[in-house]
Structure 1
Amino acid sequence: MGYAMALNLVKAGYEVVVWNRSPAKCDALAAAGAQVAATPAEVVACCDITLAMLSDPEACLAVATAPDGAAAAMAPGKGYVDVSTVDAATAAAVAAAVRSAGGAYLEAPVSGSKGPAEQGQLIFLSAGDKQLFEAAAPLLEVMGKASFFLGDVGAGANMKLVVNMIMGSMMASWAEGLSLAKQCGLQQSDLVEVVKLGAIACPMFALKGPTMAEGQYAPAFPLKHQQKDMRLALALGDEMQQELPLAAAANELYKRARAAGYSDSDFSAVMEAVAKKD
């Protein structure tokens, strides 16, 4: 997703400086016109606004706070926009590191996966420094179709976890329905069409249903990341003393799918945790 977002900025005419923990992943962006930096600190030194897209809380903290990390080059007038999906505590820790160096911080996790990222149709769930949100608005408009400012740091992280918890629970339910239909002797394609025409019509069901029926799970949103988000959402529920029995049950299915070797497959591969094998 980070590649697609950066490429859209390059295509829009912005001067883009990129860095990746796996350097080879920058090659295509360099070919498209981006400058490649050696460290996160070098990116920040070159840019007024730095965006980070990372896989988990540990990566976010490391990239922001390492000796050659983003915070090391932060200064007044510079901003750090973290679009990763993490928990509120991680967002607060990164914000503290950035702000202590004089920079501004905005969390802006995105709703949307590989396709929306490529199409510039992401939804940004932002919180933190309002002035940075306003300054970054033109960049967010290139990469997305909507941006929300939700308040103080942590609000964006919490909103993203709630959204992904709902999505993950819905996908697990869809997998169970498709599997049950097959065991009843029904055509899964008929179920897809029936649901598409009714009150529970859902673009995700229509998009993923046919490939799930075929056992095809080309990754748009890797299952390991969905399970990570379920885990973080459940931890948020514990913190808020909110029972989440459906999400907890869905999380166990994702864990089972991971154990079966589907970590890097699309999150729709949760189907493999419920499908009855012939």
Structure 2
Amino acid sequence: MKKVGFLGLGIMGKAMATNLIKAGFEVTVWNRNAKKTTELVVLGATQGSTPKEVAASCDITFAMVSDPAAALVICQGPDGVAAGIGEGRGYIDMSTVDDSTSQTIADTITKAGGRFLEAPVSGTKKPAEDGTLIILAAGDQSLYEEALPAFNVMGKMSPFLGEVGQGASMKLVVNMMMGGMLSIFSEGMSLGQKAGLDGEQILDVIAAGAIANPMFAGKGAMLLAEDYTTSFPLKHMQKDMRLAVALGDKLNLSLPSAATANEAFKQAKKAGFSDEDIAAVYKTVN
């Protein structure tokens, strides 16, 4: 498998597609805003005109778009992936969506004769650029096995999690925890500095203890520098928190901490920080 398609060239998709091109895959790219394909075409990619055309011309087509609505749009309709997938070709949606959206896409693709795999990723801009994402795959196992060479270029770990929906659920669990951690971290950093503590010393103490982790180190440096350059847009984290809370509702599971963190991200969106990095949630409590 060397001929692949890639739909969606945002912060994550562009980096992932670039790594596939550099690894020697024959890549056809498409983006709703066609200007975003230019840089990849210069690197050697072919520009596709519609998701349908890309899916019809490639062995496996990958997608990385912003939310469930966008994921459905590029799959369905006369110019969608399902219209071009044909018998036996594969479609791998790497977007973060809820399990029911993923199942709808799976049903649409399989009815059209194709094979489907959901494969949302854990990681932000830097891991996408470095090819060190964690890829959470579920669905058609034969497609998973065929896609492993591409997964190995884009990520450092790609477990197979079983039936469609399991990859989506794993991603929501991971991002729910991340959002909750970042929310309380922001409150702690704000509280400490309001109490007269030095921000760098707070980070040093955290780094030496049991709650040390790469996110606190990286995002802590960002908020002290007041640099919210986007690697993971805040609006997407709020979407993931919302989907996680909704999954809890569906399973009759109370998630009070996640629901509270979701409100913090909603407040940050309302304050105008949607397109800034997730670290900008700090600005709502600072």
Query: Which TM-score bucket, shorter chain as reference?
Result: over 0.9
> For residues 206-263 of structure 1, what are the alpha-carbon distances to aligned partners after superposition, in whole Å with 9 as ceiling and x for unaligned?
1110211232211000000000000000000001111111111111110111011100
> For residues 93-135 of structure 1, what are the alpha-carbon distances to aligned partners after superposition, in whole Å with 9 as ceiling and x for unaligned?
1001100011000000000000000000000101000000000
Whole-angstrom distance in 2 between the partners of 1:245 and 1:196: 27
Question: Which consecutive unaligned segments of at least 5 residues does structure 1 have?
Answer: none
Matched, 1:189 2:200: yes
Matched, 1:156 2:167: yes
Whole-angstrom distance in 2 between the partners of 1:210 and 1:115: 15
Name 1:7's counterpart in structure 2.
18
Aligned runs of 1:162-181 on 2, under 5 Å? 162-181=173-192
Name 1:100's counterpart in structure 2.
111
2:241 alignment partner, one of 230, 246, 264: 230
1:249 alignment partner, one of 249, 260, 270: 260
The question of whether the paired residues in 2 share the 8 Å contact of 1:51 and 1:83 is answered with yes
CA-based RMSD: 0.6
Q: How far has the Cα of 1:79 moved from its partner?
A: 0.2
1:33 alignment partner, one of 36, 44, 54: 44
Match of 1:165, SS state, is helix
One-letter code of the match for 1:68? D
Match of 1:150, SS state, is coil
Provide the identity percentage.
54
One-letter code of the match for 1:208? K
Name 2:9's counterpart in structure 1.
none
Match of 2:158, SS state, is strand
One-letter code of the match for 1:104? R
Match of 1:145, SS state, is strand
One-letter code of the match for 1:260? A
Whole-angstrom distance in 2 between the partners of 1:150 and 1:91: 14
Q: How far has the Cα of 1:154 moved from its partner?
A: 0.4
Name 1:273's counterpart in structure 2.
284
1:215 alignment partner, one of 226, 231, 251: 226
Whole-angstrom distance in 1 between the partners of 2:51 and 2:166: 25
Name 1:64's counterpart in structure 2.
75
Name 1:24's counterpart in structure 2.
35
Whole-angstrom distance in 2 between the partners of 1:37 and 1:75: 17
Matched, 1:135 2:146: yes
Whole-angstrom distance in 2 between the partners of 1:268 and 1:207: 9
Whole-angstrom distance in 1 between the partners of 2:48 and 2:199: 49
The question of whether the paired residues in 2 share the 8 Å contact of 1:107 and 1:153 is answered with yes
TM-score computed with the length of structure 1 as normaliser:
0.98
One-letter code of the match for 2:23? A
The question of whether the paired residues in 2 share the 8 Å contact of 1:15 and 1:34 is answered with yes
Matched, 1:55 2:53: no
Whole-angstrom distance in 2 between the partners of 1:175 and 1:251: 14
One-letter code of the match for 2:36? K
Whole-angstrom distance in 2 between the partners of 1:94 and 1:77: 16
Number of aligned positions between the proteins:
275
Whole-angstrom distance in 2 between the partners of 1:66 and 1:28: 28
Name 1:113's counterpart in structure 2.
124
TM-score computed with the length of structure 2 as normaliser:
0.95
One-letter code of the match for 2:102? A
Match of 1:13, SS state, is coil
Matched, 1:77 2:88: yes
Whole-angstrom distance in 2 between the partners of 1:59 and 1:210: 33
Match of 1:30, SS state, is helix
| Superposition misfits of 4+ residues, deviation over 3 angstroms | none
Name 1:262's counterpart in structure 2.
273
Whole-angstrom distance in 2 between the partners of 1:66 and 1:182: 53
Whole-angstrom distance in 1 between the partners of 2:33 and 2:277: 21
The question of whether the paired residues in 2 share the 8 Å contact of 1:178 and 1:213 is answered with no
One-letter code of the match for 2:172? L
